[in-house]
């Protein structure tokens, strides 16, 4: 496949993909961590104010030699943590202090190495890691001994130099505090040896009255690890405050909600593609960065392999690009499965015009793409409204996260599933307070949405709210989540209430058979039925829409092949069928055989698949000579191929028989 000129035009003139990926990265790197970074800055301000003001309280605190310490709990170590610490370092350098050092356990096996790295980063000087005299760092003027005394001397010199600068120079660094603190970030606190941490903390606490030092511990497990690594005599020297970052799942949910579930980017992901990306995230790496890279791959694959991707653009450019379509591109449109279904449902005269007249086809495509854009403008607000209801119900019949609901709606007609029936049954048991709250949220979502068809829907929901306000009584007939009732029942403390709840439901069900429904019950049924009708009208699966192939990337197999690595399958394919990767016609073979011109390791591998548990090397060599053209170096080539198979783990030497090797892999790959 090759990029069409139109696809190249899309990349050069309208880089929507790059803008969207940039927005996703900014959301992940800055916006989601903004609250966490603001809290850390406030902590630094509180811990630094006493030192800056030289108050009595600070002197009293320094008698206890406590070091201000932020315990930053980030969760399981993933590749995203490096990005978080880099962003934190930039925020601190821009808003608080220029003196920030990032330390890793692998660079600090001893206290000397730690001090060397610390001074090297703070002084921005050269550090010779291989030097035997690792007690020193080399600056532009002289060598400085790596010690806390040297650090204090350096800090006093740079702060005095700043105090004596001219007002114009001081104005350029006004974003930094006066006598700014020295922040030391331990990126992987659990990986540091106990002795290194103890020595550094004890030494630093003895000089805390001279140096405003602040520690930041990056923790992947639990804050209790601090007390597990450090004895009480050392941990008592720390004034610890806990900071908890958002989990990686919350990061992913926010990115999907604010970027993918919107109309701002024309390219959409099908249910299977989105599920592949989510599964890789949940079951492999928990990395939001890798999820964004996977989305980038979807963009490249769609515009590389789909000839009609030129029409995947913003609405204001669609008409211009449709008019520039060639006859071959019009034929590509006619071959789309969704368009062929559309043509089959049209009158015969219109069918002939669509299949023979390019001008009429372009007018129709313009209208169909407009309809597809309107579908998206209506789909996402209604999806959020449905999520308002489903996310508040016990056991979350349609998923707790909006991404789960989105995948369910894309997969098939959601109203035909058993989970949706469960949702309707639970929704018909909601109390007045919950219903009113949910309806108010739905009104807010629909009013702020770009869809132009929600005026009647908003008016109807407001009418429901008015009717609820006129009803007497509060939040009667409220349900309690079943799992809570079960817990109370099994604890044996409130079993009576649980039985009362069951009997009440049975009595309510029996009363509905024999008595008329109350006004509240009738209104509740009417609200649920109306929400059901809105869902059926707007949440039609995308693959039921004409020309959805243009804007939806749905090749999940390609994405899985690139991202979900299967080394053994790839290795078996390369050795069993080298043509798959080398693309040489001389290697093409039929019927499962292998060409005699294939690499030696491929021939030997193919032969070893036909052997049992033990393989006779002499017989193996003779069969190999028959399978390939004999040469003077065939014996040496055979030994080399066998050695390569042993290196790859397919065979190993056997002590049971002489001149035999044992096979290690079995079954299909």
Do the strands 660-663 and 614-616 form a parallel or antiparallel pair, or are they unpaired?
A: antiparallel
In tens, the pLDDT along 400-457 reads 999 999 999 999 999 999 999 999 998 988 888 999 999 999 999 999 988 778 999 9
Q: Is the pLDDT of residue 343 over 90?
A: yes
- Region of poorest pLDDT, from 16-30, 108-122, 386-400, 510-524: 16-30
The pLDDT confidence band at residue 177, using thresholds 50, 70 and 90, is: low
**Tokens 């019009």, residue?**
330
Q: Is the separation of the CB atoms in 308 and 10 below 8 Å?
A: no
Side-chain half-sphere exposure of 253, counting CA atoms within 13 A = 12
pLDDT exceeding 70 applies to what percent of the chain? 79
- More confidently predicted of 500 and 611: 611
- More confidently predicted of 124 and 606: 606
CA separation (Å) from 582 to 365, 572, 586, 600, 605? 41, 14, 10, 14, 17
Q: Is the pLDDT of residue 61 over 80?
A: no
pLDDT of residue 416: 93
Residues in the chain: 669
The pLDDT confidence band at residue 473, using thresholds 50, 70 and 90, is: low
Tell me how crowded residue 569 is: count the other CB atoms within 10 A of its CB: 12
- More confidently predicted of 201 and 163: 201
- Taking alpha carbons only, the member of 222, 175, 219, 164 closest to residue 197 is 219
Q: What secondary structure does DSSP assign to 432-453, as a single string?
A: HHHHHHHHHHHHHHHHTSS-SS
The pLDDT confidence band at residue 128, using thresholds 50, 70 and 90, is: very low
Report the alpha-carbon distance of residue 664 to residue 669 in Å, rounded: 13
- Residues 29-33 have a mean pLDDT of 71
Side-chain half-sphere exposure of 623, counting CA atoms within 13 A = 15
How is residue 92 written in tokens?
């601190």
Q: Is the pLDDT of residue 511 over 90?
A: no
What is the C-alpha R_g of the chain?
34
Question: Where are the alpha helices (H) located in 479-589, listed in sequence order?
Answer: 482-491, 495-514, 519-538, 548-551, 556-563, 567-576, 579-582
The pLDDT confidence band at residue 124, using thresholds 50, 70 and 90, is: confident
Q: Output the average pLDDT for the chain.
A: 81
Q: Is the separation of the CB atoms in 640 and 660 below 8 Å?
A: no
Q: Is the pLDDT of residue 62 over 80?
A: no
pLDDT of residue 668: 45
Q: Is the pLDDT of residue 525 over 80?
A: yes
Q: Is the separation of the CB atoms in 563 and 279 below 8 Å?
A: no
How is residue 375 written in tokens?
């579908």
Chain-centroid distance, C-alpha 188: 21
* Dihedral sign from CA coordinates of 438, 444, 445, 447: positive
The pLDDT confidence band at residue 8, using thresholds 50, 70 and 90, is: very low
- Residues 238-249 have a mean pLDDT of 88
In tens, the pLDDT along 538-571 reads 999 999 999 999 999 999 988 888 887 778 888 8
């Amino acid at each position: 496949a090759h990029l069409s000129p139109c696809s190249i035009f899309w990349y050069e003139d309208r880089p929507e993909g790059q803008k969207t990926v940039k927005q996703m990265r900014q959301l992940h790197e800055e916006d989601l961590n903004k609250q966490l970074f603001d809290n850390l800055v406030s902590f630094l301000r509180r811990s630094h104010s006493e030192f800056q003001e030289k108050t009595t309280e600070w002197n009293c605190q320094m008698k206890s030699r406590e070091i201000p310490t932020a315990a930053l709990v980030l969760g399981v170590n993933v590749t995203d943590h490096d990005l978080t610490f880099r962003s934190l370092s930039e925020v601190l350098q821009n808003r608080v202090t220029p003196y920030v050092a990032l330390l890793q356990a692998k660079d600090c096996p001893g206290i000397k190495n730690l001090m060397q790295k610390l001074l090297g980063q703070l002084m921005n000087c050269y550090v010779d890691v291989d030097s035997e005299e690792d007690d020193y760092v080399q600056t532009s003027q002289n060598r400085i001994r790596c010690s806390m005394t040297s650090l204090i001397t350096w800090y006093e010199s740079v702060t005095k130099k700043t105090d004596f600068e001219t007002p114009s120079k001081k104005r350029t660094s006004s974003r930094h505090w006066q006598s700014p603190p020295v922040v030391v970030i331990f990126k992987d606190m659990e990986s540091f040896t106990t002795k290194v941490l103890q020595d550094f903390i004890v030494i630093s606490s003895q000089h805390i009255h001279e140096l405003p030092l602040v520690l930041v511990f990056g923790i992947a497990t639990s804050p209790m690890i601090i007390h597990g690594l450090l004895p009480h005599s050392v941990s008592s020297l720390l004034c610890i405050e806990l900071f908890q970052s958002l989990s990686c799942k919350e990061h992913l949910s926010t990115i999907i909600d604010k970027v993918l579930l919107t109309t701002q980017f024309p390219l959409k992901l099908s249910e299977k593609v989105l599920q592949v990306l989510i599964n890789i995230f949940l079951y492999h790496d928990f990395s939001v960065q890798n999820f964004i890279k996977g989305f980038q791959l979807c963009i490249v694959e769609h515009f590389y392999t789909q000839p009609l991707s030129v029409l995947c653009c913003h609405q204001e450019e669609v008409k211009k690009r449709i008019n520039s379509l060639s006859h071959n591109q019009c034929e590509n449109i006619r071959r789309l499965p969704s368009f062929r279904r559309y043509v089959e449902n049209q009158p015969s005269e219109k069918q002939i015009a669509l299949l023979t007249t390019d001008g009429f086809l372009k007018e129709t495509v313009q209208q169909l793409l407009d309809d597809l854009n309107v579908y998206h403008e209506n789909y996402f607000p209604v999806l959020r409204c449905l999520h308002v209801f489903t996310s508040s119900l016990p056991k979350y019949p349609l998923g707790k996260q909006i991404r789960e609901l989105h995948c369910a709606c894309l997969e098939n007609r959601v109203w035909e599933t058993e989970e949706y029936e469960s949702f309707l049954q639970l929704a018909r048991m909601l109390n007045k307070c919950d219903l009113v709250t949910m309806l108010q949220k739905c009104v807010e979502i629909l009013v702020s949405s770009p869809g132009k068809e929600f005026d009647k829907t908003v008016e109807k929901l407001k009418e429901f709210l008015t009717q609820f306000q006129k009803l007497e009584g509060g939040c009667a007939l409220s349900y309690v989540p079943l799992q809570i009732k079960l817990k109370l029942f099994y604890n044996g403390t409130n079993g009576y209430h649980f039985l009362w709840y069951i009997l009440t439901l049975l009595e309510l069900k029996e009363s509905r058979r024999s008595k008329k429904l109350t006004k509240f019950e009738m209104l509740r049924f009417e609200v649920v039925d109306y929400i059901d009708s809105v869902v059926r009208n707007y949440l039609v699966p995308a693959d039921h829409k004409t020309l959805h192939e243009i804007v939806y990337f749905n090749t999940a197999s390609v994405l899985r092949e690139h991202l979900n690595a299967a080394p053994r399958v790839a290795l078996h394919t390369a050795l069993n069928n080298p043509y798959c990767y080398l693309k040489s016609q001389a290697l093409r073979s039929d019927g499962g055989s292998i060409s005699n011109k294939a690499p030696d390791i491929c021939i030997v591998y193919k032969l070893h698949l036909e052997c049992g548990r033990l393989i006779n090397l002499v017989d193996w060599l003779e069969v190999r000579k028959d399978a390939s053209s004999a040469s003077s170096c065939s014996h040496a080539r055979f030994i080399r191929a066998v050695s390569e198979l042993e290196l790859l783990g397919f065979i190993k030497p056997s002590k049971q028989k002489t001149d035999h090797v044992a096979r290690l892999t079995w079954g299909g790959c």
